[in-house]
Amino acid sequence: MDYRVVKEYINELSVEQLESMKRIVSPVILRKFIKIVIKEEKSKYEAPIWLYIGTRSDHIIVPRLYCSCKHFVIRVMSEKQSLGCIHIIGQKLAEEKRLYRVIEMTHKEYLEAIYEIIRYGRSRVIRKILYSSKARK
């Protein structure tokens, strides 16, 4: 599937449509979506990538464009059978409703977390930060 088609589909979904999707509402309410703020010595900036922290695995989300979950990679990108996954749609709802967590991390921690998710499917770095005082609700 062309990323422009996915982006258009996600952008056209209203909050009411998103809230009617039962499988999406629960992870949003549980605040499983993470917005990352990179904090360096003299500056802070928002990372272009969000994360989904799941019970079995974590996923990398580029809002309205991409998710690293198997459903997105296989059904959306390869087989072109779907226009999105629950994570990419849920991220939009979480952002719209402001039901997400924000974590501050260094650029090194950010790269390490992305690597862990790609390599192992879960990130210890993210969990360590989440369960320390660095996480904001």
Examine the pLDDT at 90 and tell me if it is beyond 80: yes
Q: Does residue 118 lie in a domain region?
A: yes
Burial class (CB in 10 A: 0-12, 13-18, 19+), 120: exposed
Q: Does residue 135 lie in a domain region?
A: no
Total domain count, the chain: 1
Q: What is the span of the domain harbouring residue 77?
A: 3-130
Over residues 29-83, the pLDDT tens digits come to 889 999 999 998 888 888 889 999 998 999 999 998 899 999 898 888 877 787 8
pTM for this predicted structure: 0.84
Q: Does residue 137 lie in a domain region?
A: no
Q: Does residue 78 lie in a domain region?
A: yes
